[in-house]
Homo-oligomer: A and B are copies of this chain.
Amino acid sequence: MIEGAADTRLPYPYLLFLGDATEPAFAKTAFGLRDWIPERCVGEWGCSEATVSTGLPRLDPAAARARGARALVIGVANVGGAIGARWVPLLVEALEAGLDLVSGLHARLADVPQLAAAAARLGRRLIDVRVPPAHIPIATGRKRTGRRLLTVGTDCALGKKYAALALTRAFAARGRAVDFRATGQTGILIAGGGMPMDAVISDFEAGAAEILSPDASPEHWDVIEGQGSLFHPAYAAVSLGLLHGSQPDVIVVCHLPGRERVLGYPDYATPGIPETIELNLQLGRRTNPAIRCGGVCLNTSQLPAREAHDLLARESHRLGLAVADPLRPGREFERLVDSCLA
């Protein structure tokens, strides 16, 4: 069901590599894969210093290979996106055990001489999913066939990917033809393909979004993972190129209650939900005049269930829209799905 757009499929099942992570926040790629494609994850592995665990079996590369793993995925992101020096001997061990390496870090695997040499010697692949394809075209602005939903946000890192994945699954459960279209490294690893929108050269940003969700049959849905926010002082360009090129028929606005300041930018207030809806519709109309808001996803992971459902009800009343937490199945979420498909 969750399929990507890349021409070349990633080699799964995966062994998830946790590096030397001692904080779950730095292993969010591994957790994302465990949550969304557990059937493609045979186990986890890491340096002896790593204290984080996904709960999957701990397997060395040879054991993982014996259980069918085809690649080791770097499931950890340290500050700066570099490949840790302590990781390198373990990554070489994985290559020697018969695994390809897959990374979504900014740093490129092939730029580490020991990895390049070992991969060449062993005939293994080094796959950097954050590298965009060559020859992305300039956007045409031509309206494409098929239907599209884009998750957008009041900020970064508050649930746009999980919302898109949950909506994809729900659309499929309703019998709709649907593809999840990944736009960031974790999403691409989950989908097996996609477009790393933040790594595309600006002139080609909208063009990259256009080829990510190509013409499709009239009833087919692409559910596109949003990036950043139109209000973000650093990343709004990514968000606008994605909005224009995606030509969404439906947007779903994602927010984390309590996130009052842009993450890492304490001088910048997060926008309100109505303001976020309005600006996305205003700018999105340029390439799809029929754009509408399907509803709101709130990330209530930090609240007890009762408080979460109370908040969803209050916000739905205040906004006059379907409001749900995509990770809390139930009536609210089904109502959001109804509204998106309407």
Contact = CB atoms under 8 A, between A and B. Distances in A.
A302 B287 CA distance: 30
B238 A286 contact: no
Contacts of A140: 233-234, 265
Contacts of A230: 283
A41 B236 CA distance: 39
A146 interface: no
A197 interface: yes
Contacts of A265: 140-141
Given A231-B286, A286-B231, A237 B202 contact: yes
Interface string A264-298: 01011000000000000001001100000000000
Given A197-B202, A202-B205, A203-B198, A234 B138 contact: yes
Interface string A188-199: 000000000111
A162 to B, nearest CB: 21
For the complex formed by this chain, how many copies does it contain in all? 2
A303 interface: no
A141 B234 contact: yes
B141 A233 contact: yes
A236 B240 contact: yes
Interface in A241-280: 241, 244, 265, 267-268
Interface in A199-223: 199-203, 205-207
A267 B205 CA distance: 20
A36 interface: no
A235 interface: yes
Contacts of A62: none
A116 interface: no
A127 interface: no
A202 B268 contact: no
Residue picked from A206, A234, A235, A286, most chain B C-beta under 10 Å: A234
A142 B283 CA distance: 25
Interface in A134-164: 138-142
Contacts of A206: 233-237
A141 B202 contact: no
A164 to B, nearest CB: 19
Given A138-B234, A244-B233, A201 B203 contact: no
19 contacts: A139-B234, A140-B233, A140-B234, A140-B265, A141-B233, A141-B234, A198-B202, A200-B202, A202-B241, A203-B234, A203-B235, A206-B233, A206-B234, A207-B234, A230-B283, A236-B283, A237-B241, A237-B244, A268-B286
